[in-house]
Amino acid sequence: MRFAVPVFPGSNCDVDCVKAVEEVLEQPVDLVWHTQTDLSVYDAIILPGGFSYGDYLRTGALARFSPVMEGVREAAEKGKLVVGICNGFQILLEAGLLPGAMRRNDHLQFRCDIQLLRVENARLPFTRDYREGETIRIPIAHGEGNYYCDEETLAEIKRNNQIVFRYAGENPNGSVDDIAGIVNREGNVLGMMPHPERAVHRWMGSADGVRFFTSMLKYWRESGAA
């Protein structure tokens, strides 16, 4: 299973994502500069965290028009796996590949902590190695993770089981309905504020992110794409 991690000017979690794929899955993974448009050789794309384009205008608003996003959009349309973590989630929202928008945290502080998440949908390519309703520990590090969507959209994503992770216990940013991560209607594009790539060894404080990656590999093998 071949992974791509696009790098935008200002990305800073790209190497963490590469190391997670290498160390957890031992699968090939390439850092891809934001000017590359053809991602057709990859089976999965991980948009990393960071501050692409300095978060100017709005988080993710400028990265969304990077050439590499053409390849991301194509991959999403073909049903390949696309993950946006933190700033990557913000980019997917701005690109319209996921519904909603991101606002500044309701308390205005940048929050860096290990957070409890509840796995709300364990039937997805990204979550099949978790148990539904399970609580996991994954770090967050963001100032703008306050997910917003209108009531109509919220009703729709609930109806389609598109809410993947909710904050269990304290909500660290004020997001609508305690949302920490969602998928698109088709279930192949996921955005989440917490960082599973930073929770892949016990010495990191949690290894609960391992199963996020193993789920993807399992899905890929079972889907016959291997």
Partner 1 sequence: MIKATITVKLKPGVLDPQGEAVKKALHTLGFDEVSDLRIGKTMEVWLSADDPAQAEERVQAMCEKLLANPVIETYSFSVEEGL
Report the side by side order of strands in the sheet with 111-119.
29-33, 3-7, 44-47, 81-85, 189-192, 179-183, 163-167, 111-119, 135-142
Calculated CA dihedral for residues 146, 120, 77, 44, nearest 10 degrees: 90
Instruction: Name the residue nearer to partner 1 (CB basis): 55 or 94.
Output: 94
174 binds partner 1 (CB under 8 A): yes
Q: Is 61 in the site for partner 1 (CB under 8 A)?
A: yes
- Of residues 58 and 166, the one with the C-beta less far from partner 1: 58
Catalytic residue (one of 13, 17, 86, 149): 86
150 binds partner 1 (CB under 8 A): yes
Binding footprint of partner 1, residue count (CB under 8 A)? 19
Residue 23: active-site member: no
Question: Residue from 7, 149, 200, 210 that binds partner 1 (CB under 8 A)?
Answer: 149
- Nearest approach in angstroms of CB 146 to partner 1 is 7
Residue of 34, 144, 149, 195 marked active site: 195
Please, which residues have CB within 8 angstroms of residue 159's CB and are 6 or more apart in sequence? none
Active site residue 34: no
Active site residue 195: yes
Considering only residues 2, 19, 104, 128, which one is a binding residue for partner 1 as defined by CB under 8 A? Answer: 104
Per CB under 8 A, 100 contacts partner 1: yes
Q: Which residues of this protein are in contact with partner 1, per CB under 8 A? A: 57-58, 61, 65, 93-94, 100-101, 103-108, 146, 148-150, 174
Active centre residues (catalytic): 86, 195, 197
